[in-house]
A = this chain, B = another copy of it.
């Protein structure tokens, strides 16, 4: 069994810092603190891998060690396939992962190739070497809640509460994100073990004894304006309808409703009403019982969605959090299941229109102090951006680094390159001990076509047009990013998405400064362009305010 961990410090293993950055980030993705299953090279998200197999992994490192400053390494679904001469302002690594000609773009064909060692699932940041652990999940959820607060509550969630369910892998970030966003939260979870885990890691503050206790706690903390998170053991399909009844009878009502049970997987993901967890797990383990389990879970999802619709009808902002529960309910006959929107069209798209998205960076030195210094720099650069300040403070206090110290924070067009140039100066001056790697998720403003998630319900109906992420990758390559990737199937699986990643290194040189200024302007600008082209007023206004040259947008 192998243990991989990125080298730290300022000694180079490669011929320059750009190759060294890729060298360290690939290894960092497989750090046991970072990866879900490092032995299988699985970083996160099901089977999202960093390299096709160990032989490929070793050879990628070897090729990076030998890579010249004017060469580019090509990675094809996790395998290093070629080294070519390009030039110093071209990317050092170009990656294409999991791409299939559409007619063959399904899991069946994927599995066939994967089994033969001919392919790899890259997810989003796994195969493009810029995954940084669960900080990203907390922050994405935080940003969603903050945006909801902005839209519905004048920018403050103080004294407000969020009702949701599910404390699993992703869902467990909800209570912490709500707290960071300034809101109380009540999360219904049917497994005591999941609640215990979140209590232990301080992702949730308290567990209520029962519904009465939960509502009393919520009433007390919201009244005091405290952002406290409460977990409640129970079944969402039973608790939510009861909360609807109480609200109708004059009881308190939530200020935001959402859900992160795993309704997308009706065998392993959703406890049917009236069932015990033990019964559920037994049925899930027994294929003969799957049909009955699925039917029961689907029926309960319909009840659950009906309760969400009821809250919406009372005027409570209600949103699907990407678990497909609306589709399940619709299939069960809940005709208006899609009356409440998905989280991207509801809360994230306005951010995308301004070029905002999950900007992230990593300190190659391995020294947490380097990140704290960048935290301070962000605050200094954007003094008016108070919610980012709050995020940075709470992230530092509440979120442990995994692998190389890293930070994530949503910045928009005009902010990203500014931050990067400041980091580059800090590297140049020696204030920071080694170069900083800057990247982002593939879920971002200009980099993804995914009609069931990031591009759901685009204003002009172009949800499925994937010219945009391809142009994004070409533009970032042209601009001189350090590595650029094109993936298929991230987030939603084979056939359902195409997306591109970008990473760029601030090594303190003038050449890096020029590239950073270009790439970290163009990358979010291409997202503003995509949304302006689709007709979003906010994107058009942003494009005008920032002086973008979009020939057909008047």
Contact = CB atoms under 8 A, between A and B. Distances in A.
Nearest to A85: B518
Contact of A474 (B83, B486, B494): B486
B116 A461 contact: yes
B118 A79 contact: no
Given A96-B471, A486-B474, A113 B551 contact: no
Given A113-B461, A497-B101, A552-B59, A474 B473 contact: yes
Given A82-B549, A85-B518, A488-B102, A77 B475 contact: no
A467 B89 contact: no
Most chain B CB within a 10 A radius of its CB, from A104, A118, A514 = A104
A449 B86 contact: no
Given A86-B518, A525-B84, A533-B81, A97 B467 contact: yes
Interface string A477-489: 1111000101010
A447 interface: no
B471 A550 contact: no
A300 interface: no
A164 interface: no
Given A63-B551, A470-B96, A529-B81, A460 B118 contact: yes
A91 interface: yes
A239 interface: no
A109 B119 CA distance: 28
B551 A84 contact: no
Interface in A51-91: 55-56, 59-60, 62-63, 72-74, 76-77, 79-87, 89-91
Contacts of A82: 525-526, 529, 548-551
A465 B521 CA distance: 32
Interface string A429-459: 0000000000000000000011100000000
A77 B80 CA distance: 31
Interface in A462-521: 462-468, 470-471, 473-475, 477-480, 484, 486, 488, 494-498, 514, 518, 521
B549 A83 contact: yes
Contacts of A119: 465
A402 to B, nearest CB: 29
From DSSP, what is the main secondary structure of chain A's interface residues? mixed
A552 B551 CA distance: 44
A105 interface: yes
A480 to B, nearest CB: 7
A498 B112 CA distance: 20
A222 interface: no
Contact of A87 (B81, B89, B471): B89
Contacts of A73: 551
Contact of A464 (B100, B465, B497): B100
A492 to B, nearest CB: 9
A77 B514 CA distance: 30
A204 B141 CA distance: 69
A99 interface: yes
B76 A496 contact: no
A94 interface: yes
B102 A450 contact: no
A103 interface: yes
Given A63-B551, A551-B59, A478 B86 contact: yes
B113 A77 contact: no
A465 B113 contact: yes
A211 B368 CA distance: 86
A526 B533 CA distance: 34
Contact of A86 (B79, B116, B475): B475
Contact of A109 (B87, B464, B550): B464
Interface in A262-309: none
30 contacts: A76-B468, A77-B465, A81-B471, A81-B529, A81-B551, A82-B526, A82-B550, A84-B475, A84-B522, A86-B479, A86-B480, A86-B518, A87-B479, A87-B514, A87-B518, A96-B467, A100-B466, A101-B451, A101-B465, A101-B495, A102-B102, A102-B488, A102-B495, A103-B451, A112-B461, A113-B461, A116-B461, A118-B462, A466-B488, A474-B484
Interface of A: 55-56, 59-60, 62-63, 72-74, 76-77, 79-87, 89-91, 94, 96-105, 109, 112-113, 116, 118-119, 449-451, 460-468, 470-471, 473-475, 477-480, 484, 486, 488, 494-498, 514, 518, 521-522, 525-526, 529, 533, 548-552
Given A79-B533, A94-B474, 11 more contacts: A62-B551, A81-B529, A82-B529, A84-B522, A86-B479, A90-B480, A101-B498, A103-B464, A104-B463, A118-B461, A474-B474
